Chain A
Amino acid sequence: MQLEINIYRFNAETDAFPYMQTFNFAKPERDIMVLELLNLLKEQDPTISYRRSCREGVCGSDGMNINGKNGLACITPLSQVLKGNKLDLRPLPGLPVIRDLVVDMEEFYAQYEKIKPFLQNDSTPPEIERLQSPEDRDKLDGLYECILCACCSTSCPSFWWNPDKFVGPAALLQAYRFIADTRDSRTEERLEALSDPFSVYRCHGIMNCVSVCPKGLNPNKAIGNIKSMLLKDSTKAVEPIRVIEQA
């Protein structure tokens, strides 16, 4: 059986516009991953460009749009995504394409940088380490595992519209990872930084991020928790005014 593989091609030096190039390929006997297929195609046409590194879903380099759904090529079996004998490979949506399946992730990383993805604690560090109860540590499960492959943020229409203002599901998941961390002492500051109309509130819960996450994480839930904390914070701010009125 022959497979019809359509790949998004664009070379800034030679092409004015991107186009789809079709490759015919004999279906391998065993089930292979999409990345392996790309490697085999690259032997036919060495100009096909894509990122890859660990080939086991840990580095998050080979995020791409596979038959309409974002995913990591290295852990997506061909049998799961083939539609008949067709496979369409496109770059991650919403980000500028540098070449073929390689996108410019600057906007994505800029949002990640914005949420200050590191532990901040003003108290004097203890001699060995900052301790945390097992219950508090459990709160970080489902948050810290993100590999920043950008599959979620680039599948989010809100991120397509406002990649410069909306933080996006990947960075918001990380923001909540530090908000929820009991060892971090800048919770108020972190929430304050997200309280504008765009950073968090552009999320309307369409769940595309959850649907595509190759690690099975739930950024939508983290965003919901941030929204609830912001709401509690905003009601707290109203209280002193009430006290003044009563006095």
Chain B
Amino acid sequence: MSIKPVFINLLKIRLPLSAFMSITHRVSGVALFLLVIPVSLVIFTYLVSSEDSYLEFLAFYQDNFIFRTFVLFCILIFQYHMFAGLRHLLHDFHVLPETLNSSNISSQVALILFLINGFLTASVLL
């Protein structure tokens, strides 16, 4: 007798916007832990090690567009995690009602705030 199959195909299962927010919040959390925080610590250590290293880094940052884009990407991950996380907290502490409608609206608001904030950050950094 064959093993009983289990149907879980995320491409075939419709999830609400709040599910998308929750899953991407988790993914951004992992990226924050594995990429953004270690990279920030390395950069920070280099920046404060001496005056020369600070100036050297500043010159490298201003000349290198790809590196600036990478820094922006890291900041965007942090911002996304923050907006999605705040939304989560507001629901967890019953500040926002736990209904499907309010959850969808709060997801849309968090996404719009992230996009505005991301756009402003990009216009400053690039």
A interface residues (Cβ-Cβ under 8 A, vs B): 8, 10, 12-13, 15-18, 65, 67-69, 88, 90-98, 104, 155, 157, 160, 204-208, 210-211, 218, 220-221, 224, 227-228
> Nearest Cβ in chain A — how far from B67, in angstroms?
34
B interface residues (Cβ-Cβ under 8 A, vs A): 1-2, 4-9, 12-16, 18-19, 21-23, 26, 88, 91-92, 94, 98-100, 103-104
B16 and A90 form a contact (CB under 8 A): no
B13 and A155 form a contact (CB under 8 A): yes
17 A/B residue pairs, CB under 8 Å, sorted by A: A15-B2, A16-B2, A68-B13, A68-B14, A91-B7, A93-B6, A97-B5, A155-B13, A204-B22, A204-B26, A206-B22, A207-B18, A207-B100, A210-B103, A211-B16, A221-B98, A224-B91
A206 and B4 form a contact (CB under 8 A): no
Chain A's closest residue to B102 (CB) is A207
Given contacts A93-B13, A155-B13, contact A205 B91 (CB under 8 A): yes
| Contact of A97 (CB < 8 Å), options: B7, B9, B100, B104 | B7
Chain A's closest residue to B1 (CB) is A12
> Nearest Cβ in chain B — how far from A79, in angstroms?
17
Given contacts A68-B13, A207-B19, A210-B99, contact A13 B5 (CB under 8 A): no
B7 and A227 form a contact (CB under 8 A): no
User: Given contacts A205-B22, A206-B21, A207-B19, could you give 4 more A-B pairs where the C-beta distance is less than 8 Å?
Assistant: A92-B7, A206-B19, A210-B103, A221-B98
Give CA–CA (A155, B7) in the complex, Å.
Answer: 11
| Contact of B12 (CB < 8 Å), options: A68, A97, A218 | A68
A104 and B22 form a contact (CB under 8 A): no
Give CA–CA (A94, B9) in the complex, Å.
Answer: 9
Chain A's closest residue to B22 (CB) is A206
